[in-house]
Amino acid sequence: SSIDPAKESKNHRFPQEEAPSAAMAIGRVMGSRLRGLMAKECVALPGAFNGLVARMVVDTGFKGGYFSGGALSASTGVPDIGLTSVDTFASRIKEVVSVSDLPIIADADTGFGEGEMVRRTVEEYCWAGAAGLHIEDQVFPKRCGHLDGKALVPTDVFCEKVERAAEASQRCSGGEFIICARTDAAGVPGEGFDRAVERATAYVKSGADMIFPEGLQSEDDFRRFAEEMRKLPGPAPGGGPFMLANMTEFGKTPYLTLEQFQGHGYHCVIYPVSTLRAAMKGVEECLQTLKDEGTLESFLPRMQSRKELYEAMSYKPLEEWKYPSTSGKK
């Protein structure tokens, strides 16, 4: 259903003298929607790195999506090392949400800076329509969570970032915008699984609604981590914070199903770069076919047809198309 932010927020009390703008209320609505979904089931969040992919995520029947910094960076031709600005992230998030109406968890890397920048990032993402974001405890410049050579900031430094993020969520959404804290400690020499649990516990106490343990290397690790988190206070059914699992390809994590993650106590699973990898492999093979054969006629069965492309955009030639003509709205 379409969102009427003004109507949704009319009776909600915000810690401000004046009611929030409609743009600010969208983050509250989306955050509340995703919280409701996760209270019922483990939600699959496929990567949606642009508006067209987001439309296809909706049309395939998924209830939410994920916005990956790695996929955004790669789509601009640069690696995932923190080169892309918060403004670029927020602009693309707005694009994704406006045409899909999906509740999105969005990557915010290390928060784009220290406390004040983390606050700004939460508000920018909230205004763009995200349901929540995650920030990570790596030093800047960060690395992909499934690479070696990562280094972490001190726990107290990251706790301060989480506190600032939680304060900003209260200000811009009444606390419904989800603050997810990611820890990379499990895969860092000198840290490890137990330190990752200790860090995550501190992040929950600092105001995190959700925990993202990155780089776990066994199914049992996922189970044990979620068990430890359920001992804490939090918004998730059964206690503790909401739990996010990353089912990326070609990484350190074994391939588990959505049902397996749910059985171990996870509330959402992200597939961050899957759609980008699939699309770019198709582009690579398309270009090679053109180079080798001088025509793409043999490649046509593997292309999205004109009709399929128009359908993905809810576009019918010769009929007025009304922006944003959100997918999934019949």
Q: Which of 92, 164, 171, 182 is catalytic?
A: 182
Question: Is-catalytic flag, 214?
Answer: yes
The alpha-helical segments, DSSP class H, found in 209-323 are: 219-229, 258-263, 274-293, 306-312
Question: Is-catalytic flag, 107?
Answer: yes
The H or E element containing residue 196 is: helix 193-205
Q: Which of 125, 126, 172, 246 is catalytic?
A: 246
Residue 72: other Cβ atoms inside 10 A? 22
DSSP state of 266: -
Give whole-number Cα distances, 235 to 110, 211, 226, 258, in Å: 24, 12, 14, 21
**Contact partners, residue 13, CB within 8 Å, separation at least 6:** 174
Question: Is-catalytic flag, 144?
Answer: yes
The length of the chain in residues reads 330
Q: Which of 28, 35, 50, 66 is catalytic?
A: 66
The H or E element containing residue 32 is: helix 22-38
Q: Name the maximum alpha-carbon separation found in the chain.
A: 66
Buried b (16+ CB within 10 A) or exposed e, 200-209: bbbbbebbbb
Question: Is-catalytic flag, 50?
Answer: no
Q: Give the start-end residues of each E strand in the chain.
A: 43-46, 65-67, 104-107, 132-136, 178-183, 210-213, 242-246, 268-271
Q: Which of 123, 124, 209, 214 is catalytic?
A: 214
Contacts 24+ apart (CB under 8 A), 251-255: 251/145, 251/146, 251/215, 252/146, 252/187, 252/215, 252/216, 252/217, 253/146, 253/215, 253/216, 253/217, 254/217, 254/218, 254/219
Q: Which of 42, 55, 101, 109 is catalytic?
A: 109
Question: Is-catalytic flag, 220?
Answer: no
Residue type at 67? F
CB 138 within 8 A of CB 150: yes
CB 64 within 8 A of CB 45: yes
List, by residue number, the catalytic residues: 66, 80, 107, 109, 134, 136, 144, 182, 214, 246
